[in-house]
Structure 1
Amino acid sequence: MGLPFVIPPSFDISKAYADSSCLTPLVFILSTGSDPMGALIKFVENMNYLERFESISMGQGQGPIAQRMIERAQTEGSWICLQNCHLAASWMPNLEKICENLDHINTVSSFRLWLTSYPSDRFPVSILQDSVKMTTEPPMGLQNNIMR
């Protein structure tokens, strides 16, 4: 079949960013072995947002902290990344309400909400429908698996 079918295209986070807005979350759909945070941090540095970027790993009790971070970032125009949203399934309805309430009146145009999550039936469908969705291939090994 040829190399185009076994070598994934290079991931360009800037294209996903170009499709986003302050009202559009950017969602990394995780797969086993992939970690988009390195690429995101590099992009944040390239965009000169390192001083205005915060990240939190979701889990037990992190929801209220994440909500305060989002509210502050909305007014400051900074970027927030909520990692591993699948671990905060009970807080996902709150995140859905936060995203529904984003508008140009309460949100600075430079604000961005980045989310990472493994596929989960508890992740709000409305966020997926209204977001820029991205996925990255796991590290090398795909070609070997196909050859086997």
Structure 2
Amino acid sequence: MYVYGIRRLFSFKEYVVEEVQFAEDLAEVGLRRDKRYNLTCPKCGAKMTKDRSIQQTARDIPICQAKGVVLVYEAIQGRCQKCNCYSTIHPEGIDPYAKATWRMMVFTAHLCRFIPLKRVQEIIPVSAATANRWDKKVLERELPESDL
């Protein structure tokens, strides 16, 4: 099934939208790696060879009635032929440790400015502790260093 215009919502470099499935209040977006792009080492920029891959998920901002949006993608572990190091490649914009997109974390941080942490979970499916952690991470990255 091809959905027109959905690529603009989920535009991850070197990944394309393969499928979109909707449930009552959940959307699942399947991403696959575009084979026109080579794997490159994040440390030295040389070509990498694919060692193994695993399917992973990440949360994203709500769409329409779907409060929970889950991105399903293939994380690829490769070995650099030049510097002989192993790296796991995730789509750009997905934090591999938070299992969420950067725009989801920014959206959560914006919500935290105006409503209490315990009320955030009424809008997006994250706990108050996760919302607090993401808010802190966004503020650390976006705010300049204090000049005392």
Query: Shorter chain as normaliser: what TM range?
Result: under 0.3
Q: TM-score, normalised by structure 2?
A: 0.25
- Higher Rg: 2
The normalised TM-score by structure 1 is 0.25
Relative contact order higher in (CA < 8 Å, ≥ 6 apart): 1
